[in-house]
Structure 1
Amino acid sequence: MAPDHVLVPLDGSPLADEALEHALETFDCRVSVLNVVAPLDTAMSEGGLLEPGEARREAAMDRADRLVERARERATEADRTVETTVETGDPADTILAFVEDRDIDHVVMGGHGGSRNDLARRLLGTVATAVVGEAPVTVTVVR
């Protein structure tokens, strides 16, 4: 059965961009885009190398706003629209809650993303693994 509402979590990676393209090309239904800003505490600050603070939080939110705006533009280019949301929290938990709260029936996401360093690949790969393992709906992982 074809989905009625697809979620595409975006993290700024090329694979997430491919996931958005796949969703827009494959599904003729409502598409929501979600960017999750992880809390910027010392545990998430790349080994504590970056100082936490308001400037970092604002920079992260600005980046998130740019990502969802770019998603809107890409959808417009494909003669589609997307609903966009930016939330703060644990990425996997936030995605799973969004699925439940917004009546999502299919998730399309990149397998991993972020920068090309090993830490980012491990962390973001873990997000996809958690969503695949815990989501109550079909999850398509784009690689």
Structure 2
Amino acid sequence: MAPSHVLVPLDGSPLSDEAFERALELFDCRLTVLNVVTPLDASMSEGGVLEPGEARRQSARDRADRVVERARERAAAFDRPIETAVETGDPAEAILEYVDGHDVDHVVMGGHGGERGVIARRLLGTVATSVVGDAPVTVTVVR
């Protein structure tokens, strides 16, 4: 069954951009782009190294706004309207919460490999691995 609402989490990486392009090409339905701002005091952020401050918070928010604005511009090239959202929190948790709260029935996201020691995480990335494992909907990972 074709999806009616596709969520594409974007983090500004080439793989997430590729996932967005694929979603635009493959799915003719409601499309939402989500960027998750990781709090500066979270373990995945720079908070462990630098003191959090309003300037850093604003910089992170500005970056998120640029990511979703670029997505709007790319979607316009496909003559496609999109919805955008910016959330704050743990990326995997924020994606899963968005899926649960917004009638999303398919997620298309980039996967990031790296030296993590676990095969699935090396193949997909930690956020993608969490979403694939816990999402109640189909997840397509672009590598």
User: CA-to-partner distance for each residue in 1:32-89, whole Å, 9 max, x for gaps?
Assistant: 0000001111634447322211111000000000000000000000111110000101
C-alpha contact 1:42 1:52 (8 A) present in aligned 2: no
User: Aligned equivalents of 1:43 and 1:31: distance in 2?
Assistant: 30
TM-score by length of structure 2 reads: 0.89
User: Aligned equivalents of 1:64 and 1:44: distance in 2?
Assistant: 16
For 1:109, the equivalent position in structure 2 comes to 109
User: Aligned equivalents of 1:73 and 1:81: distance in 2?
Assistant: 10
Per the TM alignment, residue 118 of structure 1 is displaced from its structure 2 partner at its CA by 6.0
Question: 1:42/1:97 Cα in 2 relative to 1: closer, same or farther (>3 Å)?
Answer: closer
For 1:133, the equivalent position in structure 2 comes to 133
C-alpha contact 2:92 2:131 (8 A) present in aligned 1: yes
- The list of structure 1 runs, each at least 4 consecutive aligned residues, that deviate by more than 4 angstroms after superposition, is none
For 2:34, the equivalent position in structure 1 comes to 34
Question: 1:80/1:112 Cα in 2 relative to 1: closer, same or farther (>3 Å)?
Answer: same
For 1:99, the equivalent position in structure 2 comes to 99
C-alpha contact 2:41 2:52 (8 A) present in aligned 1: yes
The number of residue pairs the alignment matches comes to 138
TM-score by length of structure 1 reads: 0.89
Per the TM alignment, residue 99 of structure 1 is displaced from its structure 2 partner at its CA by 0.3
RMSD after superposition: 2.1
Question: 1:73/1:91 Cα in 2 relative to 1: closer, same or farther (>3 Å)?
Answer: same
Gaps of 5+ in 1: none
The reply on whether 1:9 has 2:9 as its aligned counterpart is yes
User: Aligned equivalents of 1:50 and 1:73: distance in 2?
Assistant: 33
For 1:59, the equivalent position in structure 2 comes to 59
Question: 1:118/1:69 Cα in 2 relative to 1: closer, same or farther (>3 Å)?
Answer: farther
User: Aligned equivalents of 1:104 and 1:56: distance in 2?
Assistant: 31
Q: Note the 1:74-85 alignment, pairs <5 A.
A: 74-85=74-85
User: Aligned equivalents of 1:9 and 1:45: distance in 2?
Assistant: 17
**Aligned-partner SS, 1:73:** helix
User: Aligned equivalents of 1:83 and 1:47: distance in 2?
Assistant: 30
Letter matched to residue 23 of structure 2: A
**Aligned-partner SS, 2:32:** strand
